């Protein structure tokens, strides 16, 4: 059997409306991206929309690491016996080998992004445990800190089993502004639009993005984001290495 060789992920906008959809009995799944990066031998992002009072699968565990971000509705998450119902903007991160499960206990659908990844370097379970292990963060528990360009919500900044450092924040950027001049950094980065629209300069080329779209920026690629909407825009930004 011929083995498929994973492709390096391209730095660009991955458009929500263009993602192929697979329908299942109790859910549908959008395949957003899959490939390799400087630090990850495998990285895959999809979005699941779960019908009311359904679970996508039984509680399970796996060898890679997993991050979820709630896009719409509410999702009840259980990790190693601890359960929390998370609303829009909330996140959960599951360490390799930790049992976890999801359930939509509400009367409306729930949609959430799933990012699964495996590092090229051997996973370090002890490093992940010392940094705090698996966790859940409720959007409502993260304070908004205003600044001269808009504001920021700092979600987390820590090591995991698969990363030496994984940092996530949410930026609100005022109308017409650039986030910063084009710049580079060692960490690869994702930007996820959650309100309004923007354009991302990547290597000098402009890529539009609107709600639901995911921008990937590989390590050391020059980039900057501009708010192109009326009023402020908001997006997740997360870096990892």
> pTM for the full model?
0.96
Domains and CATH numbers, the chain: 15-136 (2.60.120.10), 140-240 (2.60.120.10)
Query: Which uninterrupted H or E stretch holds 129?
Result: helix 125-130
Asked if 239 contacts 185 with a C-beta cutoff of 8 angstroms, the reply is yes
Nearest to 110 by CA among 150, 157, 75: 75
pLDDT, tens digit (0-9, with 9 covering 90-100), for 21-50 = 999 999 999 999 999 999 999 999 999 999
| Percent of the chain predicted with pLDDT > 70 | 98
The tokens for 28 are 């549908």
| Nearest Cα to Cα of residue 136 among 214, 61, 68, 212 | 68
Q: Which residues pair with 154 in a beta bridge?
A: 169
1 has a pLDDT exceeding 60: no
For residue 8, how many other CB atoms are within 10 A of its CB? 10
* String of DSSP letters for 184-221: --SSEEEEEEEES-EEEEETTEEEEE-TT-EEEE-TT-
Task: Calculate the dihedral angle through the C-alpha atoms of 212, 226, 67, 123, rounding to the nearest 10 degrees.
Answer: 140
The pLDDT tens digits of the residues spanning 180-201 come to 999 999 999 999 999 999 999 9
Residue 116 has pLDDT above 60, yes or no: yes
């Amino acid at each position: 059997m011929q083995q498929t060789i994973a492709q390096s992920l391209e730095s660009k906008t991955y458009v929500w409306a263009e993602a192929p959809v697979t329908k299942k009995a109790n859910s549908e799944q959008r395949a957003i991206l899959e490939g390799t990066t400087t630090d990850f031998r495998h990285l895959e992002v999809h979005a699941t929309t779960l019908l009311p009072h359904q679970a996508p699968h039984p509680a399970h565990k796996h060898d890679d690491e997993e991050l979820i971000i709630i896009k719409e509705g509410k999702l009840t998450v259980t990790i190693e016996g601890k359960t929390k119902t998370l609303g829009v903007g909330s996140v959960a991160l599951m360490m390799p080998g930790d049992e976890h499960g999801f359930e939509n206990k509400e009367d409306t659908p729930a949609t959430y992004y799933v990012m699964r990844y495996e590092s090229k370097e051997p996973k370090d379970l002890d490093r992940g445990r010392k940094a705090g292990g698996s966790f859940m963060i409720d959007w409502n528990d993260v304070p908004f800190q205003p600044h001269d360009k808009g504001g920021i919500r700092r979600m987390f900044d820590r090591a995991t089993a698969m990363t030496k450092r994984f940092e996530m924040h949410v930026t609100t950027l005022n109308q017409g502004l650039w986030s910063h001049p084009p710049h580079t950094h060692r960490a690869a980065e994702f930007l996820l639009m959650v309100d309004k629209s923007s354009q991302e300069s990547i290597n000098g080329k402009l890529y539009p993005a609107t709600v639901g779209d995911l921008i990937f920026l590989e390590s050391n690629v020059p980039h900057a984001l501009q708010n192109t909407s009326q009023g402020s825009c908001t997006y997740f930004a997360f870096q990892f290495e």
